[in-house]
Amino acid sequence: VQCIILHPHPPRLLAKRLRFHIVGAFAVSLGVAAFLKFAVAKPGKKAYADFYRNYDSMKDFEKMKKAGIFQSAK
C-alpha cells in the first residue's frame, strides 16, 4: 500500500494567490465595463439621438391613421 504524503505549503501562499487573482479579476472587470460602454452604450445612444433628431410624431401618426391601424381615430 502506497501512502501519499502532503507537503506543507509555504506560509501566506493563500494570501499571495488571492491578491493576484483579485487584482486580475478587478482589471478584467474594468476592461469589460469600458468595452461595453464604448462599444455598445455610446453607439446605441447616438443611434437613438440621430433617429429622434428628425422624427416627426404627428407625421407618423397621420401615416398610421391613413393605413387604418387605429380603430378610435378617424
Give the ranges where 1-74 is alpha helix by DSSP (H): 13-36, 42-53, 57-67
62: Cα within 13 Å, side-chain hemisphere: 3
63: Cα within 13 Å, side-chain hemisphere: 5
Q: Residue 40's pLDDT is what? A: 96
Region 55-73: what's the mean pLDDT?
Answer: 89
Determine contact, residues 27/35, Cβ cutoff 8 Å. Answer: no
Determine contact, residues 58/50, Cβ cutoff 8 Å. Answer: no
Region 2-15: what's the mean pLDDT?
Answer: 82
Q: Give the global pTM.
A: 0.59
C-alpha cell belonging to residue 22: 483579485
Q: Residue 74's pLDDT is what? A: 62
